[in-house]
Chain A
């Protein structure tokens, strides 16, 4: 049985049908990229998996449990960590305090941090290069620094599943690569990672599984080599795409489709 099972999932948002009849299976230990145009439902899918939203109909199972179900409510924090696309903090907790919040419900009798929690938090901050930010208030960080702190928190949560909603969108080139390397290490430790991203080039380098979501519930899911093709990308985004191989790595060059370019000239 697959680790993540989605059957006939439907979800509407304010009268707008984001998707219907979506079925999907993902094995444990996959590093899975999710790409597609804006509004295709990448974030919504991650939020449904995290239990932030309830499906209109259909079933979601993670490790045999349902995120929207009753008794699952608290244990979702033991199963899936979530990194939001953006988050505006109201109060100025330090980065260290933010990461430590991952540990509150790992230990059921938590009120004060234990020595073990401190070690785990320090290690997670080391992996995301946020040690220097530890004592800085989260409200004073740049978007990219904040994303790395949230990623550290997800790592410190020690869950088998990581749900990352464009966690690298604000990062500089160097940190994008460094964070991808950190995620690769987690991948080797048999963690399952689902990550929404717009960067197909990096996804092709690091992910071993790919989901391409298009408008109207169109979906390609499979090994990254089979899914990221000129035809699939072209049809999902409505553009033309060329794939080139350089030093064994594949690169995707987008071009405006026939007609689209003309529209832009007006």
Chain B
């Protein structure tokens, strides 16, 4: 059972927790900051506002987008193992970046770099391709879409490896880094505006559709009898979730595991009702990535450790533990 007052209270606590996590993460690092120093100004404030906070805000945005879109892909494909990258979004975005780098595109349009633009286009184009293939194998209520995504993913990954082998050594350094997922402190304002707008719109649509997503999780036949029109709901939710993922990918590269671990953990704690699940996924995904990126930042101060490595290293075992201990009552025979 869920009431608006209860949900708002939970979201309020979540936002407070997220703010505390972000503040704490911003203070620690190779150069420890103090609240006093920030308030007084100069070096501390400069590092806080110009280096650490932008990067943490990026972690918040990307984490929230990946976690909530992961939850949606899991219900749309009725498969607990689905994740935001499963539909070829990752390899499509990777291929886009690879092509942009190999073609020597150094230009930027406004302040939008060729790389993030190509990542975004590659992600959306591949998703469209998988959607199109899914039309032949059956989109809803079966493994058709996932199989299509897996096949496209493997094929594009092979193309990426082929291009890597052909490229000159120095040329692809950026791409490799990008494929591991990283968060930068220096994101341009315009990209921020576009990303926040895209992610916000996608999330808003999904939240609005969340009661229908509950019903859709029972399968298309039952959903139809309960008033959902799957042919209408599925493409809208699919596009919204794809936009959310693509926005995250173009900002940060491929950060794995967030879209899988966070929705499952949140489901184990708060239950599968999407009206609560989606906001909680966004909040916990944001916290998770903020903490992971802070660990990546301080673990090896000289080197830039990609945050994707941390999410996979920390997330994998944590998730397995949760799954072994608690999954039985929450998941059916599908797993």
Interface residues on B, range: 35 or more
- Whole-angstrom distance between the Cβ of B325 and the nearest chain A Cβ: 15
Contacts of A210 in B (CB 8 A): none
Residue B1 interfacial (CB < 8 Å): yes
Tell whether, in the assembled complex, residue B273 and residue A93 are in contact, meaning their CB atoms are under 8 Å apart: yes
- Tell me, in angstroms, the Cα distance from A140 to B331 when the chains sit together: 9
* Given A90-B79, A93-B214, also A105-B226 (CB < 8 A): yes
Residue of A nearest to B221 (CB): A52
Tell whether, in the assembled complex, residue A77 and residue B3 are in contact, meaning their CB atoms are under 8 Å apart: no
Candidates A88, A102, A104; contact of B334 at CB < 8 Å = A88
- Tell me, in angstroms, the Cα distance from A50 to B222 when the chains sit together: 10
- Whole-angstrom distance between the Cβ of A49 and the nearest chain B Cβ: 10
| A contact residues vs B (CB 8 Å cutoff) | 47, 50-52, 73-74, 76-78, 80-82, 84, 87-94, 96-98, 100-102, 104-105, 110-113, 118, 137-140, 157, 163
* Given A88-B333, A91-B75, also A76-B219 (CB < 8 A): no
Residue B201 interfacial (CB < 8 Å): no
Candidates A52, A81, A96, A105; contact of B1 at CB < 8 Å = A96
Candidates B7, B80, B271; contact of A90 at CB < 8 Å = B80
Tell whether, in the assembled complex, residue B224 and residue A52 are in contact, meaning their CB atoms are under 8 Å apart: yes
- Tell me, in angstroms, the Cα distance from A96 to B214 when the chains sit together: 13
- Tell me, in angstroms, the Cα distance from A102 to B225 when the chains sit together: 9
- Whole-angstrom distance between the Cβ of B22 and the nearest chain A Cβ: 29
Tell whether, in the assembled complex, residue B331 and residue A92 are in contact, meaning their CB atoms are under 8 Å apart: yes
Tell whether, in the assembled complex, residue B329 and residue A90 are in contact, meaning their CB atoms are under 8 Å apart: no
- Whole-angstrom distance between the Cβ of A129 and the nearest chain B Cβ: 20
Interface centre among B211, B217, B228, B334 (most CB of A within 10 A): B211
Residue B314 interfacial (CB < 8 Å): no
Residue B330 interfacial (CB < 8 Å): yes
Tell whether, in the assembled complex, residue B218 and residue A81 are in contact, meaning their CB atoms are under 8 Å apart: no
* Given A105-B227, A112-B3, also A94-B222 (CB < 8 A): no
* Given A73-B229, A74-B229, A92-B329, also A111-B211 (CB < 8 A): yes
Contacts of A157 in B (CB 8 A): 226
* Given A52-B225, A111-B211, A113-B1, also A87-B330 (CB < 8 A): no
- Whole-angstrom distance between the Cβ of A153 and the nearest chain B Cβ: 8
Residue of B nearest to A67 (CB): B224
Tell whether, in the assembled complex, residue A82 and residue B214 are in contact, meaning their CB atoms are under 8 Å apart: no
Contacts of B228 in A (CB 8 A): 105
Tell whether, in the assembled complex, residue A104 and residue B226 are in contact, meaning their CB atoms are under 8 Å apart: yes
- Tell me, in angstroms, the Cα distance from A69 to B291 when the chains sit together: 52
Contacts of A112 in B (CB 8 A): 2-4, 7, 275
Tell whether, in the assembled complex, residue B330 and residue A137 are in contact, meaning their CB atoms are under 8 Å apart: yes
* Given A84-B221, A101-B215, also A93-B227 (CB < 8 A): no
* Given A101-B215, A104-B211, A111-B211, also A92-B225 (CB < 8 A): no
Candidates A74, A84, A87, A91; contact of B227 at CB < 8 Å = A74
- Tell me, in angstroms, the Cα distance from A16 to B226 when the chains sit together: 29
| 8 Å CB interface, B1-50 against A | 1-4, 7
Tell whether, in the assembled complex, residue A91 and residue B1 are in contact, meaning their CB atoms are under 8 Å apart: no
* Given A77-B226, A87-B219, A104-B227, also A111-B275 (CB < 8 A): yes
- Whole-angstrom distance between the Cβ of A131 and the nearest chain B Cβ: 14
Tell whether, in the assembled complex, residue B226 and residue A102 are in contact, meaning their CB atoms are under 8 Å apart: yes
Contacts of A111 in B (CB 8 A): 4, 211, 275
Residue B297 interfacial (CB < 8 Å): no
Contacts of A88 in B (CB 8 A): 332-334
A-B contact pairs, 26 of them (CB 8 A): A50-B221, A74-B229, A76-B227, A77-B225, A77-B227, A87-B219, A88-B333, A88-B334, A89-B332, A91-B75, A91-B80, A91-B217, A91-B267, A91-B331, A92-B330, A93-B272, A100-B1, A101-B226, A104-B212, A105-B226, A105-B228, A111-B4, A111-B275, A118-B1, A138-B332, A140-B328
